Amino acid sequence: MPVFQITEQSHDVIVDLKYGTLDNFTHQQIYDQSLCFLHNDAKVCFEKAIALAAQQGLRFKVFDAYRPQAAQEKLWEICPNPMYVAPPTSGSNHTRGVAIDLTLINSGGAELDMGTPFDDFTEDSHHGATLTKQANANRYLLLGIMMSAGWDFYQNEWWHYQLFNAKSYPLLANSYGIMTK
């Protein structure tokens, strides 16, 4: 199954995989290495999204992409809430390599205001939440770019996008060099 690494050099994005740091909702480092991978089908859609964002003078910051099964199990252990973390028994679309968590950044590298930070597990992070006019405009901009590039969205997380028919992709057994604790 073709899986490709996404780097700052290969795709003109910022890669800030939060689970490779302590700066995430768990306050634990889940990944030993912050390597960003996507299934080829997702990579093609992501490259379309990158081009569409560039037309607006924007870029992406990637918070998460492919996630090994061991990492999914650890996240579920910490937050067993299916509204925000997929149960490892059914598998995450991240573990299939067909989901990506991201935001838009401006030409100076600053994140656009999306109303909540990444991994804010409250109703304010849901699409359609009551937010400031600017935060709503930024979310709709992100949504428009991603859907125009072939991505589906997840209602409860403004940052999460996945391929349509994501569950039709198999779970990936290979960790692709991402070691998990």
Distance set, CA 53 to CA 7, 50, 95 (Å): 17, 5, 26
Count of alpha carbons within 13 angstroms of residue 127, beta-carbon side: 16
Q: What is the DSSP letter of 123?
A: G
Quote the CA–CA distance of 100 and 157 in Å, as a whole number: 11
Q: CA 36, 40, 43: angle at the middle one, nearest 5?
A: 60
Quote the CA–CA distance of 29 and 164 in Å, as a whole number: 30
Quote the CA–CA distance of 123 and 67 in Å, as a whole number: 24
Question: Is residue 23 within 8 Å of 86, Cβ to Cβ?
Answer: no
**Among all residues, which ones are annotated catalytic?**
157
Structure tokens that stand for 122 in this block: 């409250």
Q: Which of 93, 163, 85, 84 is nearest to 125 (CA)?
A: 84
